[in-house]
Structure 1
Amino acid sequence: MARFEMLNNVEHRDVRIHTQRSADTGDAVQYVVTFPLELRRAQAHYPIFFQKDSNTGQFFPIILLGFEKGENLFLGPDGWEPAYIPMSILRGPFLIGYQSNPEHPDGRQAVITIDMESPLITSAQDGQPLFLEHGGSTPYLENLTELLEDIQLGLEMNAPFIAALTEHDLIENVTMSITLNDGAERQLLGLYTINEDRLNELDDAAVASLHKAGHLQSIYMIMASHAHFRAMIDRRNAKRLEPATGLG
């Protein structure tokens, strides 16, 4: 169970972070959340879909990594295989949290928090240190801080993006069915994508509006990313030492 603490250079001065990607350090995940600002890089390697939050009913974009819970087809014996690692993976055990601050405009300020139960935390010398000997931030922590700020911005960008897609009724449910070489079949439920027919039927004003807001590019990147779904089947079959046979 996660146990987040506000990061500080006193209590966490000896904490180090594993940066080698592996199932043992929590990278065996079926999907991770993504954002419009990441789509250009992510769509070059992974299929991107949407899921719906069961509590709020809100959609959010995801990078699909596996066909079932706990499966990451992009994780090999030597670590992460594609050149680009999703931001939600790189953040490791860290998240942006908030603490009360009456002097801040909205009464709170953002802080970095760390999950002390994460398997990525170590005291081994091969881990990345967070703080210098006299308390300053290491280059690793400085880069991580920038990453967390980008993730926070990305999460904020998701809301208007999803709102625009919903306004034009462009999100549709899709069931992805696969057949593996050994005859095993998988059906991925709960995924959503862009309805291309409705997109093509939009009038010029709607298209112009999506383009001006920067959403049109994101839409096309998501649609293009689905070409990688076939490669995921190949990866799954390769793990069984057999070639792929088909996509239903």
Structure 2
Amino acid sequence: MANPVLLNNIDHKDLHVQTGRGAMFGDNVMSALTFPSEFRDIQACYPIVFRKADDGNFEAHALFGFQEGENLFLGMHGWEAPYVPLTIERQPFLIGTNGTELMVHVDLENPRISSSDGERVFLPHGGTTEYLERVNSTLLAIHQGLQQSRGFMAALLEYHLLESFAFDIELDDGSQYRLAGFYTINEERLSALAGAVLERLNRAGYLQPIYMVIAAMSNFRTLIERKNRVHAAQC
């Protein structure tokens, strides 16, 4: 169970974080939350899909596998992609708020936590390390990206640009899998939008990430190739 606490240089003066990648660190996840300002980097590696969160709102995810607990980008030597999504990169840290003040929390139950191995969080005399400075920048980017994502999602819903889809795959050995419960951009409705609407989306900075989502769909081929390799190695 997670145990997030406010980070401070007194209680956590000897805190270290192991930054390797692997299932032992909790990286065996099917997807990770992302946001429009990250889509350019995400679409270079992963499909971008949408799904409904527990609160009923839509959120964007980078997809790593076809079933829960499956990350096809985890290999013997770590994460096998040039870009790791920020919501994965930030672990075991979280951002919280106290009014308008942003505050860094750390999950002390996260398997990355150590008292001696990995990156030191604080300097011996209490100052912040370069590692923690990078974490702070990552958390701020996530916070701002998710804030900006609200308007983006509202625009997609306003113009009915989201559609549910099911993705069926058949592996080389005949095994079949179905991916369901996700949404993508309806390209037909996008193409039918009036010029004034497209201009509005472009001025808001939403048109480029929309096309990034469409381009990222080609990464399903990469997922299938990786699934074939993993499945063949297990047989």
The TM tier, using the shorter chain, reads over 0.9
1:164 aligned residue (130, 140, 155): 155
Query: Could you give the per-residue CA deviations for residues 190-240 of structure 1, whole angstroms, max 9, x where no partner exists?
Result: 110000000000001100000101100000000000101011010011113
Distance 1:38 1:226 in 2: 16
Query: Could you give the per-residue CA deviations for residues 82-108 of structure 1, whole angstroms, max 9, x where no partner exists?
Result: 111110110011111123xxxxxxx45
- Show the counterpart of 1:104: none
Alignment TM-score, normalising by the size of structure 1 = 0.92
Matched, 1:7 2:17: no
- Show the counterpart of 1:122: 114
- Show the counterpart of 1:19: 19
Shift of 1:180: 1.2
Matched, 1:109 2:101: yes
In structure 2, give the amino acid aligned to 1:180: L
- Show the counterpart of 2:56: 57
Query: Could you give the per-residue CA deviations for residues 40-69 of structure 1, whole angstroms, max 9, x where no partner exists?
Result: 11101111010012x322111100001101
2:224 aligned residue (233, 236, 241): 233
Identity among equivalent pairs (%): 45
In structure 2, give the amino acid aligned to 1:123: S
In structure 1, give the amino acid aligned to 2:50: F
Matched, 1:178 2:169: yes
Matched, 1:34 2:40: no
Query: Could you give the per-residue CA deviations for residues 126-161 of structure 1, whole angstroms, max 9, x where no partner exists?
Result: x00000010000000001000000000011011000
2:184 aligned residue (179, 187, 193): 193
Structure 2 counterpart SS, 1:20 = coil
Alignment TM-score, normalising by the size of structure 2 = 0.97
Distance 1:240 1:199 in 2: 37
- Show the counterpart of 2:141: 150
- Show the counterpart of 1:102: none
In structure 2, give the amino acid aligned to 1:145: N
Query: Could you give the per-residue CA deviations for residues 1-36 of structure 1, whole angstroms, max 9, x where no partner exists?
Result: 101100000111111101110000000000000011
Distance 1:109 1:208 in 2: 35
In structure 1, give the amino acid aligned to 2:37: L
Shift of 1:241: 3.2
Distance 1:124 1:135 in 2: 16
Shift of 1:110: 1.5
Q: Conserved in 1, the CA contact under 8 Å of 2:14 and 2:116?
A: no
Structure 2 counterpart SS, 1:241 = helix
Structure 2 counterpart SS, 1:209 = helix
Distance 2:116 2:176 in 1: 42
1:72-87 pair list within 5 angstroms: 72-87=71-86
In structure 1, give the amino acid aligned to 2:83: Y
In structure 2, give the amino acid aligned to 1:18: Q
Distance 1:115 1:177 in 2: 37
Distance 1:166 1:108 in 2: 28
Between the two proteins, the alignment pairs up a number of residues equal to: 233
In structure 1, give the amino acid aligned to 2:31: Y
Distance 2:219 2:100 in 1: 41
Distance 1:150 1:234 in 2: 32
Shift of 1:181: 1.8
Distance 1:132 1:20 in 2: 21
Q: Which runs of 5+ in 1 are unaligned?
A: 100-106, 243-248
Shift of 1:122: 1.2
Higher helix proportion (structure 1 or 2) = 2
Q: Conserved in 1, the CA contact under 8 Å of 2:92 and 2:110?
A: yes
Distance 1:217 1:88 in 2: 21
In structure 1, give the amino acid aligned to 2:66: F
